[in-house]
Amino acid sequence: MMWEMMPDDITQAVLARDDVVRYLQGGHGQTPRQARERVYAYLDELRTTQRYPFYRALKHPLYPILRKIERRFEHVEIARAATQSGRVIYASNHKSHTDYLVEPLVLDDNGIRPPVIAAGINLFGGPLGLLHRHVTGAIPVRRDTKDPAYFVTLKAYVAEVLRNHDLLFYPEGGRSYSGELKQPKTGLMQAAMQADCPRLFLVPTAIAYDLVLEDRILARQGVKRRQRPFARELAEMVRQAVGYRSRAFVTFGAPLDTSEYDPQSRRDVLALAHRTRQEIGRLYKVLPTAVVAAAIRPSVATRVLEWRVEAVLEKLQAAGANLETTNVEETIDRGVELLEARAVLVIERGRFRVRDRTTLRYYARTINHLLQPPTARTR
């Protein structure tokens, strides 16, 4: 079981936290009884179980997709050492719905205890929702609510989770629809910092794909307009998976000691969030598809593309990017092969032509945080 104490004990532990006690005194246009009912309802929604012996069962509903993704990892020894030293929260960028599966499996592949995952509540319908609640131990998060009862309950619940388990969450708050590394949100980070863990480390984690399964779906929308049922998104992902193959690189960074930041200070929480984003951006594996996408123009000859790719690689090296390769020919061969297979580019009469400009821009933006000057990146 995920909990070392019974659910009633967890409920009592949450209800005893200072923020929750203050909320239960009433206010916000409700009586103490009404406040208690709301907190209990949200607690029932949040309660989850991680059954580690069955953990790998999470692969099965999405196995036709997962088998198409080759998992690679960098600096996994950092995660291992951090889990041996104290409690760990993994803060990762968010590219795809497959992140929830790939990142914990990379840890499990290396004999490291998988964390509890904070995931959007739209992922909790159907068979995958049952797996999240009863196998992986994922916590359903309502990202768009403004209900004070929800915020106080979520923060208290996360604090109690961290007494027994590590946590994986996405500071961006959701997938990046533009491809860019988004600015961080601080709610879950602050909740983790307030957990009263004597040794709590934040491990910046970056995930990158040659090709993102939902690239066209995300790129065409550009920005998230509304929450869609996950069953519909899953059906679209299955359609996109036809002919799909990709590597996924998960890179772990040096742990940040959260005790150096005051969880009650908005400035400190923001400072940690932005430092985490900066570290994730530095760790992010820059792959040939992104480099080619950033360098290419609507129609370009081979020699011109070589010059442009060389210039992009030089900028990335100067920015300290985590490059897979600095070889121009290798970058073009690999990047063009994948983008052509994805029908983003086409080679005609010795020239490279763009067929899907929207998706191409999505990949180009994935390295904007490295190519833009520092003053622009920090705004």
Confidence band of 6 (pLDDT split at 50, 70, 90): very low
Do 294 and 364 meet the contact criterion of CB atoms below 8 Å apart? yes
pLDDT tops 80 at residue 330: yes
- The pLDDT of residue 36 is 87
Its pTM surpasses 0.95: no
Indicate the SS3 state at residue 247: strand
CB neighbours of residue 245 within 10 Å: 14
Mean per-residue pLDDT, 226-254: 78
Percent helix, strand, coil in the chain (nearest 5)? 50, 15, 30
Smallest Cα–Cα separation from 222: which of 277, 182, 278? 182
pLDDT at residue 3 in the model: 40
Sorted by where each starts, the structural domains of the chain and their CATH numbers stand as 7-42 (no CATH), 49-283 (no CATH), 286-377 (1.10.10)
pLDDT tens-digit map of 192-213 = 998 878 889 999 999 999 999 9
Identify which of 276, 125, 260 has the alpha carbon closest to the alpha carbon of residue 188.
276
